[in-house]
């Protein structure tokens, strides 16, 4: 048996948890082995030391009454009567001890100020520390190039994603249906075209006949007509700041320069051909 095993069995023996057969065997060892005896005495002294500190004196019945009143709300008649007496006494007693309220307030304020000051100092130290850290040497041109390449690659990747067909287009039956619809549209358009090609239009201003004597229906379409100009067109173009801006601006340059000029330019067509009735360009006044 190792010393550790002996000590383990010994503590169980002292605690009263060792089986009876083992206890008898250990007692035999204890009779002859001085090491085991010393160990037993040491543990007995330790147990005595640990139990040497008594619990404070308490009135357990009174304590139980208090716990019951708080926990379950059950109060016996005696406690109720005592509470009523106590309430009367408390009502007559001085409500609060005399505290130096100003001093208390001052101390709390000082404690708060000290805390804030400490925080500020720590913040400043942190900022200094962060600023004192050296900036790593960077090849800025290379970094810029790298960033540009990254952005370009990202843009390209997004374009590829945008060009992808919609998810709905990848569904088989939708694709088939859309193709059939497209084919139907083409057939319909071709049929209409052939029909209009074979039918001759009726003369303008003639009402379509109501009978069915071999005449086709005619559609009349009115188009806008060209009006003759009475005089050459003139365009008025304003250049420079608005009148409101000029009025509100305090910039001397606008007052003396741009603002002092006439803001109006009149452009009119210039007749350059021989007849003088067809404009060939714009003239400015």
| Cβ 44 to other proteins shortest distance, Å | 10
Which residues, other chains included, contact 272 with Cβ-Cβ below 8 Å and sequence gap of 6+? 279, 280, 281
Distance CA 120, CA 133 (A): 20
Which residues, other chains included, contact 75 with Cβ-Cβ below 8 Å and sequence gap of 6+? 65, 68, 69, 83
Label residues 133-145 b or e (16+ Cβ within 10 Å = b): eeeeeeeeeeeee
Candidates 104-112, 149-157, 221-229, 256-264: pick the segment binding other proteins (CB under 8 A): 104-112
Distance CA 127, CA 112 (A): 23
Residues 35-64 within binding reach of other proteins (CB under 8 A): 42-43, 45-47, 49-58, 60, 63-64
| Cβ 55 to other proteins shortest distance, Å | 6
Distance CA 173, CA 13 (A): 86
Candidates 67-75, 189-197, 227-235, 247-255: pick the segment binding other proteins (CB under 8 A): 67-75
Asked if residue 268 binds other proteins (CB under 8 A), the reply is no
What H or E segment, with its residue span, contains residue 163?
helix 140-163
| Cβ 27 to other proteins shortest distance, Å | 8
The residue among 113 and 128 lying less far from other proteins, judged by its C-beta, is: 113
| Cβ 56 to other proteins shortest distance, Å | 5
Q: Which of 2, 17, 139, 210 binds other proteins (CB under 8 A)?
A: 17
How many residues touch other proteins under the rule CB under 8 A: the total is 45
The residue among 99 and 198 lying less far from other proteins, judged by its C-beta, is: 99
Distance CA 180, CA 186 (A): 10
User: Considering just the CA atoms, what is the radius of gyration of the chain in Å?
Assistant: 55
| Cβ 91 to other proteins shortest distance, Å | 21
The residue among 100 and 207 lying less far from other proteins, judged by its C-beta, is: 100
Asked if residue 99 binds other proteins (CB under 8 A), the reply is yes
What are the structure tokens assigned to 32, written together?
């002859």
Which residues, other chains included, contact 3 with Cβ-Cβ below 8 Å and sequence gap of 6+? 35
Distance CA 218, CA 200 (A): 8
Asked if residue 97 binds other proteins (CB under 8 A), the reply is yes
Q: Which of 2, 32, 34, 73 binds other proteins (CB under 8 A)?
A: 73
Asked if residue 15 binds other proteins (CB under 8 A), the reply is yes
Chain residues that interact with other proteins, rule: CB under 8 A: 7-8, 11-17, 23, 42-43, 45-47, 49-58, 60, 63-64, 66-68, 70-74, 97-100, 103-104, 107-108, 111
């Amino acid at each position: 048996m190792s010393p550790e095993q002996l000590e383990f069995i010994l503590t169980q023996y002292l605690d009263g948890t060792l089986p009876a057969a083992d206890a008898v065997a250990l007692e035999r060892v204890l009779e002859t082995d001085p090491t085991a005896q010393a160990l037993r005495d040491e543990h007995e002294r330790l147990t005595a030391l640990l139990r040497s500190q008594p619990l404070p004196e308490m009135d357990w019945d009174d304590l139980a009454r208090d716990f019951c009143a708080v926990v379950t709300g059950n109060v016996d008649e005696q406690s109720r009567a005592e509470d009523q007496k106590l309430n009367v006494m408390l009502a007559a007693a001085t409500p609060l001890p005399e505290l130096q309220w100003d001093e208390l307030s001052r101390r709390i304020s000082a404690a708060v100020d000290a805390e804030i000051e400490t925080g500020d100092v720590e913040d400043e130290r942190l900022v200094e520390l962060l600023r004192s850290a050296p900036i790593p040497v960077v090849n800025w041109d290379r970094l810029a190039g790298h960033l540009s390449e990254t952005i370009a690659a990202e843009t390209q990747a997004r374009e590829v994603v945008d060009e992808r067909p919609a998810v709905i287009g990848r569904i088989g039956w939708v694709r088939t249906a859309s193709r059939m619809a497209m084919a139907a549209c083409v057939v319909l358009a071709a049929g209409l075209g052939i029909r209009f090609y074979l039918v001759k239009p009726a003369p303008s201003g003639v009402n379509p006949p109501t009978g069915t004597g071999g005449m086709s229906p005619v559609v009349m379409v009115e188009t806008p007509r060209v009006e003759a100009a009475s005089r050459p067109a003139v365009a008025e173009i304003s250049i420079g700041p608005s009148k409101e801006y000029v009025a509100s601006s305090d910039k001397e340059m606008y007052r003396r320069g741009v603002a002092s000029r006439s803001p109006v330019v009149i452009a009119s067509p210039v007749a350059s051909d021989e007849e003088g009735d067809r404009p060939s360009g714009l003239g400015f006044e």
